[in-house]
Amino acid sequence: MTRSPLFSLAAWRRPEAMLILMAMAMAVSLHGWFALLNNFVVERAAFTGKEIGFLQSIREIPGFLSFAAIFLLPFIREQNLAFVSLALLGIGTAMTGYFPTEIMLYTTTFIMSVGFHYYETMNQSLTLQLIEKKRTAQHLARQLMAASAGTLLIFVVIMLTFDGALLRKLEAVTGLPVGDWGLALGYEPLYLAAGLFTLAVAVFCKAFYPQFEAPEVQTKTLFLRRRYWLYYALTFMGGARRQIFMVFAAFLMVEKFGYDVTAITLLYMANLVANIFVAPAIGRIIARIGERRALIIEYIGLIGVFTGYALVDDHLWAAGLYILDHLFFAFAIAIKTYFQKIADPKDIASTAGVSFTINHIAAVGIPAAFGFIWLTDPGLVFYIGAGMAAVSLALACFVPRDPDQGNETLIKRFDGPAVRPVGPSPAE
């Protein structure tokens, strides 16, 4: 009997499999870090909205500096830089639980964030170079599904081993002698396990996968091209808006509604289960209806979700908004596929670094600044988020139905071949 190609060694040594495996490993560390973070900093370091805002701003600084990745490429291949970055993410995560002071939490956060953001920069570049355009949306959806599966894995581990509370509740409800397996690991071993898993995958990928070659030699200088202006604008607004979800929506659940570690993890797990089933469908939807319509759907939905955060007083409605919020963000795949269609293939690596910097310009300042707004009026934070989504909606209306090189936006007079150098840049 012939083996299915899915289980052949050749299939597992393709770039698609490598990218999917790394996406899963990234998610284990990143989302394990996030799942424990809010309760960890409140219980162990007595953080308020001000300190969590500063910590999240520090977390975004490496994202702002993602453009510097291009300066490393003459010395290290993109694929190897992705492996090193993934390993650094794992190391920073593994260290987190053992340093519950304000300064050391800022330090370990910076380390893991350098790894995460440089991994993400290289992952985006490698994906857009190595995956065919017609399959990119579906592949990115599979990466999202793999990341969701990895996150679900670490959440299940956290729920079963953090303090045994979930198993005791299950025993009380069912009357079955479930027991707690004698497990009450707490924060330190769980942070360590998540980080070491990611580090192990990075080492495995380096040993197992060949060096994949992109079809085009990449430009290794920094530049801004005028004809990519809409992509830059959508990326900037996405970075600003994302902070409302990642920082303050989760903090709302803990501070206003009193969610403990188990409840927060259950909420995250609901997001993941939804993503595992919905992400592939979203990839197919984007491929079918196009980037313009997909982005419009996303931003209209987010306006409603952020307004709901500002008004909600019931913890179940708040949880529902959080799950819906997470699903809408899956449509952001369309920004990447839009860029792949309009970009010169040689621009992808450099623009990946520049776009991550643009994505984090607002993200560096927003958590700290909005932390002070939060102390006065938490609802105002979410109203501002709704305004950001409205600006993104207006920008999405300028995306053509069929984007391509030469058909980047509906406003032709702003599109052209001119280059605005950020560093030494090649002639057009």
- Structure confidence at residue 396 (pLDDT): 93
Instruction: Give Cβ neighbours of residue 397 (< 8 Å, ≥ 6 apart).
Output: 292, 296, 410
The model carries a pTM of 0.75
Determine, yes or no, domain membership for 143: yes
Determine, yes or no, domain membership for 1: no
pLDDT in tens, 157-170: 887 887 766 566 65
Is residue 215 helix, strand or coil? Answer: coil
- Structure confidence at residue 108 (pLDDT): 93
What size, in residues, is the chain?
428
- Structure confidence at residue 328 (pLDDT): 84
Longest pairwise C-alpha distance within the chain: 73
Sequential DSSP letters for 81-148: HHHHHHHHHHHHHHHHTT--SHHHHHHHHHHHHHHHHHHHHHHHHHHHHHS-HHHHHHHHHHHHHHHH
Determine, yes or no, domain membership for 354: yes
- Structure confidence at residue 8 (pLDDT): 63
Determine, yes or no, domain membership for 298: yes
**Is the distance from CB of 278 to CB of 172 less than 8 angstroms?**
no
- Structure confidence at residue 296 (pLDDT): 94
Determine, yes or no, domain membership for 246: yes
Tell which phi-psi region holds residue 14, choosing left (phi > 0), alpha (psi between -120 and 50) or beta.
beta
- Structure confidence at residue 364 (pLDDT): 67
User: 411: domain CATH number?
Assistant: 1.20.1250.20
- The Cα 384–Cα 241 span in angstroms is 9
pLDDT in tens, 266-308: 787 787 787 788 888 888 888 889 999 999 999 999 999 999 9
Counted domains in the chain: 1
Instruction: Give Cβ neighbours of residue 73 (< 8 Å, ≥ 6 apart).
Output: 81, 218, 220, 349
- Structure confidence at residue 423 (pLDDT): 47
- Structure confidence at residue 91 (pLDDT): 95
Residue 203 belongs to domain spanning: 13-211+220-417
**Is the distance from CB of 19 to CB of 129 less than 8 angstroms?**
no
Of 384, 334, 362, 385, nearest to 230 by C-alpha is 334
Task: Provide the 10 A C-beta neighbour count for residue 274.
Answer: 16
**Residues of the chain whose pLDDT is less than 70?**
1-11, 46, 164-183, 217-220, 261-262, 265, 363-364, 412-428
